[in-house]
């Protein structure tokens, strides 16, 4: 839940990157950190294992600048995607304002995407949030792998499996190269701000 500080004229909103383990959530934030270094003055916080898997979360504060006189600060988080970390994953979702679901386009990860999306729905429900109402963007990541001959799910299939009911905006992306990473972020930020702005005067 975003906090509006009327005194400092500041809004803080929380956007969480969700999705199956090794899907590329952390890579999204790393790319954003490198690309928008002028708006991000701090180091990225990463609580991870020795093997570079997210253990708790990654955190990146992003200064959006002023909207209607308010300084908007977006807090970007990732969750740990591994199934066993559900307790910490749920903690990161607390107070979430917008979600990017990073799906892994590799054919072998088909099932993992579906399970993770269902898990997102369940975890949101524990905070009385509905996946159909919350600002949500889908990202079909690792599209670059098709050039290396690795079997990738066609976008139509991904849409059908993950987005047929949600009908959320979706992007094909490569977090590693950076394709559509900024686009994904801009979309979720604008949706999140729009949902907040209804009440922001």
The residue ranges that bind Mg ion (CB under 5 A) are 25-26, 54
Question: According to CB under 6 A, which one of 63, 144, 169, 190 is a site residue for ligand GTP?
Answer: 144
Under rule CB under 6 A, how many of the chain's residues touch ligand GTP? 21
Q: Which residues contact 21 (CB under 8 A, 6 or more apart)?
A: 53, 80, 81, 82, 83, 112
- Quick note: the x/- pattern for other proteins over 26-65, rule CB under 8 A, is ----------------xx-x-x--------xx-x-x----
- Contacts (CB under 8 A) with other proteins, residues 165-184: none
Residue 60-99 contact track with other proteins, rule CB under 8 A, x = bound: -x-----------x-x-x---------xx--xx-xxxx--
Helix (H) or strand (E) holding 185: helix 181-197
Instruction: Give the Å distances, CA to CA, from 7 to 65, 130, 143, 192, 193.
Output: 17, 31, 45, 22, 19
Q: Which does 159 bind (CB under 5 to 8 A by kind): ligand GTP, other proteins, Mg ion, none?
A: none
| Nearest CB to ligand GTP, comparing residues 57 and 70 | 57
For 54-70, letters b (16+ CB in 10 Å) and e give bebbbbbebeeeeeeeb
CA distances from 171 to 12, 55, 80, 174, 190 (A): 25, 26, 21, 10, 15
Work out how close the CB of 161 gets to other proteins at its nearest, in angstroms, rounded to a whole number.
29
* Total number of residues shown for the chain: 201
Interface with other proteins by CB under 8 A: which range of 3-11, 17-25, 105-113, 146-154?
A: 3-11
Residues 97-116 binding other proteins (CB under 8 A) are 97
**140 and 105 Cβ atoms separated by less than 8 Å:** yes
CB of 75 to other proteins, least distance (A): 6
What lies within 8 Å, CB to CB, of 144 at 6+ separation is 174, 176, 177, 179
| Interface residue list for other proteins (CB under 8 A) | 1-7, 11-14, 42-43, 45, 47, 56-57, 59, 61, 73, 75, 77, 87-88, 91-92, 94-97, 195-196, 199-200
């Amino acid at each position: 839940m975003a906090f509006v500080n009327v005194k400092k004229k500041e809004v803080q909103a929380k956007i969480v990157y969700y999705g199956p383990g090794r899907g590329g959530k952390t890579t999204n934030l790393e790319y954003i950190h490198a690309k928008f270094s002028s708006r991000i003055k701090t180091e990225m916080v990463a609580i991870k294992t020795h093997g570079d898997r997210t253990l708790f979360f990654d955190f990146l504060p992003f200064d959006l600048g002023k909207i209607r006189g308010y300084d908007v600060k977006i807090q970007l988080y990732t969750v740990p995607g591994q199934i066993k970390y559900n307790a910490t994953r749920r903690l990161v979702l607390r107070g979430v304002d917008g979600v990017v679901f990073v799906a892994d386009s590799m054919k072998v990860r088909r099932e993992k995407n579906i399970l993770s999306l269902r898990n997102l729905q369940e975890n949101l429900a524990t905070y009385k949030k509905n996946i159909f109402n919350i600002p949500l963007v889908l990202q079909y990541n690792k599209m670059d792998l098709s050039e290396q001959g690795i079997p990738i799910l066609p976008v139509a299939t991904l849409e059908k499996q993950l987005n047929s009911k949600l009908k959320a905006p979706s992007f094909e992306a490569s977090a590693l190269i950076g394709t559509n990473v900024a686009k994904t972020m801009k979309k979720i930020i604008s949706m999140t701000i729009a949902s907040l702005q209804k009440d922001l005067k």
